[in-house]
Chain A
Amino acid sequence: MYKIVTRKSLNPTVTQMEIEAPLVAKKAKPGQFIILRVDDEGERIPLTVAGTNPENGTVKIIFQIVGATTKKLDCKKEGEYITDFAGPLGVPTHTDGIKKVCIIGGGVGCAIAMPVAEEFHRLGAEVTSIIGFRNKDLLILEDEFNACSDRLTVMTDDGSYANKGNVTQPLKEYLEKGEKFDMIITIGPLIMMKFVVETAKPYNIPVTVSMNPIMIDGTGMCGGCRLSLNKDGKKVTKFACVDGPDFNGYEVDFDEAMSRGRMYAEYERHAYEKTCNLFKGADNNG
């Protein structure tokens, strides 16, 4: 059992928790993920590590309530326990030789982008961050990004906070002005990452994308997290759990990944509604 040491709502749909898991806290690096189960009948879900505190033995996770499992997790209180918490999994984000980096986060993807930005800042790289949200209410981690970025641009789709528009607009402006990033790292919705890649393409700047497909074991056994890369015109199958989650954005087949991500959409909607009904009484009381 793994204790929830702290719990905080970052916005109405996004929650941050610190979980007691000393072995994971000691090892996890930016870009890696964990697999958790809330209770004994629960499904295994992957969540990217949003930070660690090796001294306290805690691992920070930030998640959006999108389905039944994240809803159940959200209902857990500080001091309560979850059944399973395993990691760190996946390959850490590659940082060698990168002196000037552009980090682009979208929505809850910013929770994963933030420790990556912090790591580059710690290593002395010049960090340009662009973070985007649907609206002001969904904004998270602005202060944290400010602290580790040389430049920060905040975007909202509806203009309810900071700049109106999506994250590719400031990226395009930087690139048009001739900024030469060693690497662009983007983490967020697949469609956003796809457009970041398209924006960067004419300028020949490498793009790393962080993939978050459906997973079960997360340790290189089931193959559910597979995705297709286009390597010199040849289709290659890779597994996000052991080969990723970071991949070369120019090689990823985003359309296929988006389609695969919707495999259980219908099922998940029913499960989510059922869970919400289950928690309705509790929500009203609390």
Chain B
Amino acid sequence: MANMNPKKNPMPTQDAKVRAHNFNEVATGYSEETAIDEALRCLNCKNMPCVNGCPVNIHIPEFISKVKEGDFEGAYEIISKSSSLPAVCGRVCPQETQCESKCVRGIKGEPVGIGRLERFVADWHNAHADGKVTVPEQNGHKVAVVGSGPSGLTCAGDLAKKGYKVTVYEALHTAGGVLVYGIPEFRLPKAIVAKEVETLKAYNVDIEPNVIIGKTLTIDELFEMGYEAVFVGSGAGLPNFMGIPGESLKGVYSANEFLTRSNLMKAYKDEPETPIMKGGRVAVVGGGNVAMDAARTALRLGAETVYIVYRRSMEELPARKEEVEHAEEEGIVFKLLNNPVEILGYENPDDPRDPRNGFVTGMKCIKMELGEPDEKGRRRPVPVKDSEFVLDVDTVIMSIGTSPNPLIKDTTKGLEVNSHGGIIVNEDGLTSRDAVYAGGDAVTGAATVISAMGAGKVAAKAIDEYLSNK
């Protein structure tokens, strides 16, 4: 008998006042009883609209049916056929615009909590399984994957499960890409990423850290080494700045740098070896998920006030609704319809050696209003004349996107990129070079974890077809 409650089972979370001061995960996850109760809300529609909303086409009604029966390991097996990183997706996917947006239950109430169920199933598996996997028979083909972020890990996982020998090259010292340097512990515990990486290793995937493709080795050298296909999932790249005065002052970070210091380099721990500016008053410029992550990280590091400064209104804010709600609950102050025009710094006119010189003292902003819609249909923000004011802050975090990293493009002859520097691919993820595939942010510019995983999956399928017919 279906559970006809119009509302989802709420996700248990740490109290906002408590969690604002720790790095433990915000959401604590469903219990077995809640998971079964939520699964019973699924009507098991024949045409499965939810599956079409999933970039990696997880067989959603099938795994939910297993949850209904209490067969959680069975549910995991179904998910893992389509997704190499279920514990990650269950946490960071924007389900509200994907699978859940297509759910029939969403018409007259709230959709089934598909993401919450996926997370429950993956966590249940990680807590109960012995980590052993059945490694398929090797087919003798070697594939190299560049980058161990979501697209690279997905591509590697899919190919390894088909019997390919896959090596993943990672520039940093730890595997996971944006999952370890970008997304904070309180949203995605690093132990979970490490566990997913261990699972891939169990499938015979080799992970080589500290190898920068384009520098340590080139794509051409990978082919010389015997790899028959290469997937490039090298990620988004260098942070953008606004080009306003004062962006080089001490106390101005890119979101990438701020989050990398805290997440990858563990500056959030007591007495870290990698320093980070903690405390004080912080302005984060931008309105995406990365901006929310930076703001909430700053708060947890001990900031007394954290502002989100965004030039449009709440309606246009690109971050996930859930992240915005969490940020608001925790006390992040949203300064909407404001745009920075200058960052101000301390300068002691009498003492050029004053150690305070060159540190941020404030950020001058101008108020904005929404004008006519632009070509994308979003109302264009226009400055309000003579409305400048100074926001009293000592740290500014710029979170306004990234530009592609040039290292691979510059060292790979014949690899075509678009005017933004993104690698050009066809619908199979194939680049302008034979046997070189690409996906994720290196192709699209900054996007979501799940779209990168989708691209890794598409490329894995294409690589398999290419090498099977070679």
Query: Is the Cβ of A219 less than 8 Å from the Cβ of B172?
Result: yes
- CB-nearest residue of chain B relative to A241? B238
Query: Is the Cβ of B210 less than 8 Å from the Cβ of A242?
Result: no
Q: What separation, in Å, do the CA atoms of A226 and B210 have in the docked complex?
A: 22
Query: Is the Cβ of B405 less than 8 Å from the Cβ of A89?
Result: no
Asked whether A216 and B274 contact (CB < 8 A) given A37-B173, A237-B241, A242-B238, the answer is: yes
Query: Is the Cβ of A89 less than 8 Å from the Cβ of B215?
Result: yes
By a CB distance below 8 angstroms, the chain A residues around B256 are 221-223
B126 interfacial contact with A, CB 8 Å: no
Asked whether A266 and B172 contact (CB < 8 A) given A88-B215, A223-B257, the answer is: no
Interface string of B234-249 (1 = CB under 8 A from A): 0101110101000110
CB distance from A155 to the nearest CB of B (A): 25
Query: Is the Cβ of A44 less than 8 Å from the Cβ of B210?
Result: no
A271 interfacial contact with B, CB 8 Å: yes
B59 interfacial contact with A, CB 8 Å: no
By a CB distance below 8 angstroms, the chain A residues around B171 are 86, 217, 219
Interface string of A14-43 (1 = CB under 8 A from B): 000000000110010000000001000111
Contact with A242, one of B264, B272, B274, B405 (Cβ below 8 angstroms): B405
Contact with B261, one of A68, A83, A216, A219 (Cβ below 8 angstroms): A216
B315 interfacial contact with A, CB 8 Å: no
Query: Which of A116-124, A244-252, A255-263 makes up part of the contact surface?
Result: A255-263
Query: Is the Cβ of B275 less than 8 Å from the Cβ of A264?
Result: yes
By a CB distance below 8 angstroms, the chain B residues around A226 are 241, 248
By a CB distance below 8 angstroms, the chain A residues around B250 are 259-260, 262-263
Query: Is the Cβ of B266 less than 8 Å from the Cβ of A41?
Result: yes
Asked whether A86 and B275 contact (CB < 8 A) given A221-B181, A221-B405, the answer is: no
CB distance from A160 to the nearest CB of B (A): 27
B211 interfacial contact with A, CB 8 Å: yes
By a CB distance below 8 angstroms, the chain B residues around A41 are 266, 272-273
Q: Give the size category of A's interface with B.
A: 35 or more
Chain B CB within 10 Å — which of A68, A220, A242, A259 has the most? Answer: A220
Query: Is the Cβ of A217 less than 8 Å from the Cβ of B260?
Result: yes
Interface string of B210-245 (1 = CB under 8 A from A): 111001110000000000000000010111010100
CB distance from A265 to the nearest CB of B (A): 7
Q: What separation, in Å, do the CA atoms of A83 and B247 have in the docked complex?
A: 34
- CB-nearest residue of chain B relative to A258? B358
B contacts with A: majority SS: loop
By a CB distance below 8 angstroms, the chain A residues around B264 are 217
Interface string of A73-114 (1 = CB under 8 A from B): 000000000011111110000000000000000000000000
- CB-nearest residue of chain B relative to A86? B210
- CB-nearest residue of chain A relative to B217? A23
Contact with A83, one of B172, B173, B265 (Cβ below 8 angstroms): B173
CB distance from B298 to the nearest CB of A (A): 16
By a CB distance below 8 angstroms, the chain A residues around B217 are 23
Query: Is the Cβ of A221 less than 8 Å from the Cβ of B260?
Result: yes
A189 interfacial contact with B, CB 8 Å: no
Q: What separation, in Å, do the CA atoms of A222 and B358 have in the docked complex?
A: 21
CB distance from B394 to the nearest CB of A (A): 12
Q: What separation, in Å, do the CA atoms of A256 and B358 have in the docked complex?
A: 8
A224 interfacial contact with B, CB 8 Å: yes
Q: What separation, in Å, do the CA atoms of A237 and B254 have in the docked complex?
A: 13
Q: What separation, in Å, do the CA atoms of A262 and B275 have in the docked complex?
A: 12
B74 interfacial contact with A, CB 8 Å: no
A199 interfacial contact with B, CB 8 Å: no
Chain A CB within 10 Å — which of B216, B266, B355 has the most? Answer: B216
- CB-nearest residue of chain A relative to B410? A242
By a CB distance below 8 angstroms, the chain B residues around A271 are 273, 275
Asked whether A222 and B247 contact (CB < 8 A) given A68-B273, A84-B173, A87-B216, the answer is: no
Q: What separation, in Å, do the CA atoms of A256 and B257 have in the docked complex?
A: 19
Query: Is the Cβ of B260 less than 8 Å from the Cβ of A222?
Result: yes
Interface string of B251-264 (1 = CB under 8 A from A): 10110110011001
Query: Which residues between 264 and 279 of chain B lie within 8 Å of chain A, taking CB atoms?
Result: 264-266, 271-275
Chain A CB within 10 Å — which of B172, B237, B241, B253 has the most? Answer: B172
Q: What separation, in Å, do the CA atoms of A44 and B406 have in the docked complex?
A: 21
Q: What separation, in Å, do the CA atoms of A30 and B265 have in the docked complex?
A: 29
Q: What separation, in Å, do the CA atoms of A208 and B137 have in the docked complex?
A: 56
Chain A CB within 10 Å — which of B173, B251, B254 has the most? Answer: B173
B209 interfacial contact with A, CB 8 Å: yes
Q: Shortest 3 CB-CB distances between A and B: which pairs?
A: A86-B210, A259-B358, A223-B254
Name B's A-contacting residues (CB within 8 A). Answer: 171-173, 181, 209-212, 215-217, 235, 237-239, 241, 243, 247-248, 250-251, 253-254, 256-257, 260-261, 264-266, 271-275, 355, 357-358, 405-407
Supply 11 A–B pairs (Cβ within 8 Å), ascending by A.
Answer: A23-B211, A24-B216, A27-B215, A87-B212, A216-B274, A219-B405, A221-B181, A223-B239, A242-B405, A259-B250, A267-B275
Extra inter-chain contacts (8) besides given A41-B272, A43-B273, A216-B274, CB under 8 Å:
A44-B265, A69-B273, A87-B212, A219-B212, A221-B237, A226-B241, A259-B357, A260-B248
